[in-house]
């Protein structure tokens, strides 16, 4: 799977890096000074690298734990995100990562211990208040777990932090390590879900909807707290039947009252990412529908977005309580469109993690606008996957 390992000299003796390196005895190993020297090169082919990505082992410097944008939460007041990895083993055609990074290679920051120190000190700034920490914005939280063993470490850590809560966002069925251990009460495993045909068509390499629901069921049966992220919601002529079927399949398999949180989000994409994605995938059907630019984001025209979200919200609230529900935007208060794309123009879809502006990989892409920059002007209430 991984034929080339780039290893920062700063991290190569770290035990976590050594454990990962040992999993690839036949890989070519190249020592580097900083991961950005490889990851940020301008003349890279994202699509080609995505076919056979290299793994870059690096040390995360600078700010490892960042506040989420105002209003971003699933019930808590203090909300932060962190990214132990950049890029994803899956290849969703709407994913903002392909518009954000020039490289399709994976970066794993092996100094998990430094992330955990920062999480602890952030939580202890206000020990009397719960703090939420979100994982899985620049990657999938579980997909590379057999190699990184990230969840073993992070869950051990959160077991020692009663005032901190963790969300692991994922589409992966790599849950064996979770099922082997006692559930961690202050952790939520949140799955991004799309209708079966949408997943099959656009979520390349990701587990099928059926497998994700099975994983949710297994986790819930084992006592884990789970969350559902219906995000991004995609438009099609038959979206009502597709999303009704999705909700039926999902809620028939789960104990709805025991679900921690459900979020719902339109797809939006920062405009520069949207443009880059069109260049990458000019033939994509997802990138060929009418769209609007709303402030710095591209998304469906407001009337379509409102219809989509309104329908899904109504259907969801037949199945869950309001206190479980966290929409990513206020459905009654849409963003004012400022520019209409012609019907021949392309559109881009994004997991709402992009909308959230929850990513600040400033040392990975110094010339890029951060999602935080792009999204702070957005009236999004609640982003997700
Ligand atoms: S949308 Fe999520 S699962 Fe899909 S490629 Fe992006 S990060 Fe991975």
Atom of ligand 1 nearest to the CA of 172: 3
The 3-state DSSP class for residue 123 equals: helix
pLDDT class of 137 with cuts at 50, 70, 90? confident
Q: Against a cut of 0.85, is the pTM above it?
A: yes
pLDDT of 332:
54
Atom 2 in ligand 1: which residue has the minimum CA distance? 140
At 329 the pLDDT is 67
How confident is the model over 74-90, as pLDDT tens digits?
Answer: 999 999 999 999 999 99
Q: Is pLDDT above 60 for 339?
A: no
Contact 172, 145 (CB under 8 A): yes
Whole-number Å distance, alpha carbon 194 to ligand 1 midpoint, is: 12
Ligand 1 center to 13 CA (angstroms):
30
- Measure the N-to-C terminal CA separation of the chain; round to a whole number of Å: 26
Closest CA to 301 of 265, 347, 270, 353: 347
- Residue 6, pLDDT score: 98
Taking CB atoms and a 6 Å cutoff, what residues make up the pocket around ligand 1?
Answer: 88, 90-92, 95, 97, 140, 171, 206, 351
Predicted pLDDT at 294: 80
pLDDT at 33 over 70: yes
* Residue 230 CA to ligand 1 centre (angstroms): 13
Between residues 20 and 374, the one the model is more confident about: 20
Nearest-atom index, ligand 1, CA of 171: 3
Using most ligand atoms within 8 A of CB, pick from 46, 92, 191, 234 the residue to mutate for ligand 1.
Answer: 92
pLDDT in tens, 196-243: 999 999 999 999 999 999 999 999 999 999 999 999 999 999 999 999
Q: How far is the CA of 69 from the centre of ligand 1 (A)?
A: 20
pLDDT at 371: 40
Q: Specify the fold of 4-375.
A: pyruvate-formate lyase- activating enzyme (3.80.30)
Q: Which one is predicted more confidently, 166 or 283? A: 166
Query: Which helix (DSSP H) or strand (DSSP E) does residue 225 occupy?
Result: strand 225-233
Residue 336 has pLDDT above 60, yes or no: no
CA of 135 to the centre of ligand 1 (A): 13
pLDDT(345) > 70: no
Helix axes 302-317, 239-253, angle to 10 degrees: 30
pLDDT recorded at residue 174: 97
- Percent of the chain past pLDDT 90, that is, above it, reads 74
Residues 6+ apart with CB under 8 A from 376: 69, 357
Protein residue closest via CA to atom 7 of ligand 1: 139
Residue 287 pLDDT? 77
The domains of the chain are located at 4-375
**Cα(96) to centroid of ligand 1, in Å?**
8
Residue 379 has pLDDT above 80, yes or no: no
- Quick: pLDDT tens for 178-192: 999 999 999 999 999
Testing ligand 1's pocket by substitution, the residue of 351, 355, 384 carrying the most ligand atoms inside 8 A of its CB is 351
Burial of 182 (0-12, 13-18, 19+ CB in 10 A): exposed
**What confidence score (pLDDT) does residue 267 get?**
83
Q: Over 50: is that where the pLDDT of 365 sits?
A: no
Mutate to test the pocket of ligand 1, among 95, 348, 349 (most ligand atoms within 8 A of CB): 95
């Amino acid at each position: 799977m991984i034929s080339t390992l780039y290893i920062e000299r700063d991290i190569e003796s770290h035990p976590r890096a050594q454990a990962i390196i040992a999993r690839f005895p036949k890989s070519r190993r190249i020592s580097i000074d900083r991961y950005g020297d490889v990851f940020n090169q301008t003349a890279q082919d994202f699509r080609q690298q995505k076919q056979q990505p290299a793994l870059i082992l690096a040390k995360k410097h600078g700010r490892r734990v960042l506040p989420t944008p105002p209003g971003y939460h699933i019930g808590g007041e203090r909300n932060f995100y962190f990214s132990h990895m950049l890029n994803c083993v899956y290849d969703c055609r709407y994913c903002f990562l392909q518009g954000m990074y020039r490289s399709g290679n994976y970066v794993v920051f092996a100094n998990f211990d430094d992330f955990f120190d920062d999480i602890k000190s952030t939580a202890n700034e206000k020990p009397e208040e719960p703090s939420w920490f979100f994982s899985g914005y620049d990657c999938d939280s579980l997909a590379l777990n057999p190699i990184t063993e990230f969840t073993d470490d992070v869950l051990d850590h959160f077991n020692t932090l009663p005032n901190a809560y963790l969300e692991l966002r994922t589409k992966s069925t790599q849950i064996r390590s979770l099922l082997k251990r006692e559930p961690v009460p202050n952790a939520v495993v949140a799955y991004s879900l799309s209708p079966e045909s949408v997943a099959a068509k656009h979520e390349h390499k990701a587990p099928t909807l059926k497998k994700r629901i099975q994983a949710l069921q297994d986790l819930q049966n084992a006592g884990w707290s789970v969350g559902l992220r219906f995000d991004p919601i995609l438009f099609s002529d038959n979206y009502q039947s597709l999303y009704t079927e999705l909700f039926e399949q999902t809620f028939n398999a789960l104990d709805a009252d025991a679900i921690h949180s459900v979020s719902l989000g339109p797809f939006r994409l920062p405009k520069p990412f949207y443009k880059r994605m069109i260049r990458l995938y000019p033939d994509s059907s997802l990138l060929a529908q009418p769209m609007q630019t709303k402030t710095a984001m591209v998304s469906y025209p407001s009337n379509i977005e409102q219809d989509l979200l309104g329908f899904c919200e109504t259907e969801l609230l037949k199945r869950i309580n309001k206190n479980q529900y966290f929409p990513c935007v206020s459905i009654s208060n849409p963003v004012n469109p400022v520019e209409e794309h012609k019907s021949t123009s392309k559109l881009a879809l994004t997991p709402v993690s992009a909308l959230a502006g929850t990513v600040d990989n400033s040392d990975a892409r110094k010339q890029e606008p951060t999602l935080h920059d792009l999204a702070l002007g957005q009236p999004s209430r609640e982003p997700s996957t």
